[in-house]
Structure 1
């Protein structure tokens, strides 16, 4: 996939590095647990869940969170409220799992197509009944000739 067009900007000593697409989603998935540390108090986790429940899917929440982050002074993930950071971590995990499942489904579909192709080839390889009978007769005759 293209990672939903995601972009993550990472400031460093030489400027800002930009990660895009699936790599941005994966990087965010690795960064958020480090930013969030041990998570947060139960009430913050509940707030994070409520934030996510206001959106149809994790991707829409992430778009909203990205817009909100851009409007904040500093615009960094660490500067966001705890419940928002937790919700981002949850949303990224859900989105990553969804992408993985879609990838697995694609692989299953591909394997199914290959199995159907192999089955069609195998169907074409079946031996006609008259040939099978002739082989059986030849085996019997050969067996009698080999017997002492």
Structure 2
């Protein structure tokens, strides 16, 4: 049984009430489909549990849910909080918009809040340095005018995503690296390629590994989160495609029109939008609703593959999360920034 989020590597915490699954402070379960997730309280992403650990735990959750005072409910989804503090989310047969609102609303909203707080924190630190410099007469006007560049330097120096390469080396990817991430069709059904080429960095992943890597990269690309309206737009894009898999196909099918010698990208109404050749395949160039929809679709695709016999691959992701979580990696942030974010994380 693993205890670390497979996406952000933060500890998932423990509970004292689910006898067969003492991991996590918020558990989501679907008795009909036999699915159990641990919701990370830091990044709000849903970690699908290994199948052999689900069944008794789901039964425990069902009993606890019905014996616990209801906190919120709708026709298909209910949420209860036990006196011990653990939260239980019971999934019925929800329509996609309702399920997405519960599953993704919190994580995108929290990311948005964290991004704002981070911007305020970094800006405050840079501003303090500038004011102190002016007060002591050691900061020139030219340097003061570059304060905005200092903010960008700090932001671009943060490690946003960590991946292990084929040699076991941890790749620390920053914002400029993620801006070069491409998602391309491999020319086969449900198979994709992920590429990152920037300077000396030249990486390529294919097949199931590409889906896992894309899942990690898209979280960093969507680090700014979104409000409810944008999340709803993202859900509609998946609905228009008919299925998460079809949406990924659509996104990865950018093509070159040989007759007009231009690159095009499919849009929601079935038409094709011209794009610049240098933007071909770049995920961060997608509209925000499309990027959020891609994250939803990739997450569900990884779970679908796991449920279709690729449980070993899923467990490998968990184990990698455990390994990386043990690596101490202090991000390049101004002193006190981590404390500031932690203090205001839930405000």
What's the TM-score once normalised by structure 1's chain length?
Answer: 0.62
Task: Provide the C-alpha distance between the structure 2 equivalents of 1:15 and 1:77, rounded to a whole number of angstroms.
Answer: 17
Residues 96/3 of structure 1: CA separation in 2 closer, same or farther (3 Å cut): farther
Specify which of 231, 245, 253 is matched with residue 67 of structure 1: 253
Distance 1:19 1:3, change over 3 A: farther
In the alignment, which residue of structure 1 is the partner of 2:185? none
Equivalent residue, structure 1, for 2:303: 97
The 1:38–1:103 alpha-carbon spacing in structure 2 relative to 1, beyond 3 Å, is farther
Whether the 8 Å contact between 2:195 and 2:204 is mirrored in structure 1 is yes
| Equivalent position SS for 2:196 | strand
Change (3 A) 1:28 1:104: closer
Count matched residues: 104
Q: How far off its partner does 1:67 sit?
A: 2.2
* C-alpha distance in structure 1 between counterparts of 2:213 and 2:248, whole Å: 14
Match in the other structure for 1:84:
290
Partner of residue 17, structure 1: 203
More helix by share: 1
CA drift at 1:83: 0.3
User: Which stretch shifts more, 25-34 or 36-45?
Assistant: 36-45
1:17 positional shift:
2.9
Per-residue CA deviation, residues 54-92 of structure 1 (Å, 9 max, x unaligned), is 123211100101124973331311111100000000000
2:225 and 2:254 map into 1 onto residues whose CA distance is 21
Partner secondary structure for residue 10 of structure 1:
strand
SS at match of 2:226: coil
- Is 1:35 aligned to 2:221, yes or no? yes
User: Deviation at 1:41?
Assistant: 1.6
Q: Deviations over 1:2-31 (max 9, x none)?
A: 992211121221475321100110011000
Instruction: Report which structure shows greater RCO (CA 8 Å, sep ≥6).
Output: 1
Q: CA RMSD in A?
A: 2.5
Change (3 A) 1:49 1:68: farther
Superposed displacement of residue 52, structure 1: 0.3
Which stretches of structure 1, 4 residues or more, deviate above 4 A after TM superposition?
A: none
More off after superposition, 2-11 vs 95-104: 2-11
Residue 8 of structure 1: aligned partner: 194
Q: CA deviation at 1:104?
A: 6.5
Q: Distance in 2 between matches of 1:102 and 1:4?
A: 13
Unaligned runs of 5+ in 2: 1-187, 256-262, 265-274, 312-347
| Aligned partner of residue 253 in structure 2, secondary structure | helix
Q: Which residue of 2 aligns with 1:112?
A: none
Q: Which whole-Å CA distance do the structure 2 matches of 1:15 and 1:33 have between them? A: 20
